[in-house]
Structure 1
């Protein structure tokens, strides 16, 4: 599959948790020098808070530095018909593009803060985390 991050989101984040998660991910995005793009990667976001929607968080790079959009949902990812993994399992290929730094920071944050709800893994090496 190429360089890919995987995660399992086992249970819905409460409204209070979701508010905290959005605030913390905005802080992560706001502290990086990496230019973060809109979900389609066609232009830079105007502010770090633009990665947060009501019930989802969307992170990508910009133009040639974009790849697949990293998406975290408040209530787990919907399960596509083709998917054999349980609901809440998801993945994102970043191709080691610059926004990967932000994706790995978000995954580390979510797994460390919500270990009973969220786990992450990667095809990458330890030094890339």
Structure 2
């Protein structure tokens, strides 16, 4: 299977919530892109993994002219740091998943899902193959750099500490 995050969209995200979510995701992008974060350099590319994103607005796209807004990105494919594209949409009520294989772009995937949980909690059900111990470093980083109110999704399993 691989290291995968799951997110079911229960209802569309209101425009005001979506604006706040995308603004915070843009803030994260600006703070992490091409920088060492938690011991790894993070380079965010377009959904194909081939074009390095230079501006935060490149994270956001419409699925087709006149259709819905989405957040879309991947890791750096030319460095073998990509895996499956991350795609989170404003209005698509369906089950989504993103297998990241825990590559560096997973940081932005987890950050985006934590932010979606914080600002759009009634819209998404979020779970993961990772547990609380995998998500806590990103949560702590978000609390320090973006918003102290961030919290883990309810379906993230508690981590098991080894003796």
What TM-score results when the alignment is normalised by the length of structure 2?
0.69
The question of 1:105 aligning with 2:111 is answered yes
| Match status 1:39 vs 2:47 | yes
CA RMSD of aligned residues (A): 1.3
Q: Report the alpha carbon displacement of residue 18 of structure 1 after superposing the two structures with TM.
A: 1.7
Structure 2: give runs of 5+ residues left out of the alignment: 36-41, 63-68, 136-163
Distance 2:113 2:84 in 1: 15
Residue of structure 2 equivalent to 1:84: none
The SS at the match of 1:50 is helix
Q: CA deviation at 1:3?
A: 0.7
Which is worse superposed, 24-33 or 100-109? 24-33
Aligned residue number for residue 95 of structure 2:
89
Q: CA deviation at 1:43?
A: 2.1
1:11, 1:44 → 2: CA distance?
A: 32
Which of 101, 111, 114 is matched with 2:120 structurally?
A: 114
1:49 to 53, 57, 64: 57
Give the SS at the match of 1:53. strand
5+ residue gaps, structure 1: 77-86
With normalisation by structure 1, the TM-score equals 0.86
The structure with the larger Rg is: 2
Partner SS, residue 7 of structure 2:
strand
Deviations 1:49-71 (A, max 9, x none): 21011411102101111111110
CA separation in 2, counterparts of 1:31 and 1:128?
A: 20
SS at match of 2:43: coil
Task: Determine which of 40, 45, 61 is the counterpart of 2:75.
Answer: 61
